[in-house]
Amino acid sequence: MPSLPLPLALTARLSPVVVLATAGWALTSGPFAPTPAAGHQPSVADTATQAPSAPSATTASRTYTAAPAPCGSITPKTVTSLVPGAKTTGKEIPSTDTKLRRTCSWNALKGFDYRWLDVSFELMESSQAAEKEYQERVTEKSGGGDVPGVGDSGYSVVNLTTEDKQQTREGVVLVRVSNALVVVTYNGSDFETKKAPSTDVINKGAIKAAKDAVTALEGSRSG
């Protein structure tokens, strides 16, 4: 079968991607005071010093401190069904800080059908920061709808683009789980008919992958 030129938009997706992440942060808590000597009656100040400091709101709302391995977050069965012909191991995209952000991609051209799937885990300083980022991205990607029953909040949107008469339909699912964001992108094209998969196919596929990724994230939680 002769090779087929990919549309510019899809060719760009196959180029190397450098994922930037912000620097990590440190968590601290107040120390305990030494135990009073025998016979010493602790003063009010001593008692206050000996009491452990209450955890900050930021510390209490940081459930996740490291991003899970993204290429193991989507089950082989899901990868095979969504990206026929792709290696189920996927390919992790380099990140400047793998504790804060990790991304894995799968793509394949089988016959005339092309599919691309990627999943990213992004960790924020707190659940409040993650919620703010989540709301900002939902606002940017208007026209979608809520995805119930996944994480603390979920959102899905599907868009169709056409370039040189070739259609590509792409779905994006964004999920917040505590201080973490899970972002799934899934798209496809048919180079024979120049049509794109239906909205239902792309949307359901993206949501399926997002559920796998959230399960993997929740399973990585320590304690």
**pLDDT tens per residue across span 53-112:** 444 444 446 789 999 999 999 999 999 999 999 999 999 999 989 989 999 999 999 999
Q: Nearest Cα to 70, choosing from 79, 83, 62?
A: 79
Q: What is the mean pLDDT of residues 42-61?
A: 43
pLDDT at 214 over 60: yes
Q: What is the mean pLDDT of residues 17-30?
A: 34
Contact 154, 174 (CB under 8 A): yes
pLDDT at 11 over 80: no
Task: Answer with the residue of higher pLDDT: 215 or 6.
Answer: 215
The pLDDT confidence band at residue 1, using thresholds 50, 70 and 90, is: very low
Give the model confidence (pLDDT) of 146-179 as tens digits. 999 999 999 999 999 999 999 999 999 999 999 9
pLDDT at site 130: 97
pLDDT at site 61: 60
Any long-range contacts for 96-99 (C-beta under 8 Å, 24+ apart)?
96/18, 96/19, 96/20, 96/21, 97/21, 97/22, 97/23, 97/24, 98/66, 98/67, 99/24, 99/65, 99/66, 99/67, 99/123
Note the pTM of the prediction, 2 decimals.
Answer: 0.74
Q: What is the mean pLDDT of residues 42-50?
A: 41
CATH of domain 64-219: 2.60.120
Q: Which residues contact 157 (CB under 8 A, 6 or more apart)?
A: 141, 142, 143, 144, 145, 171, 172
Task: Answer with the residue of higher pLDDT: 182 or 222.
Answer: 182
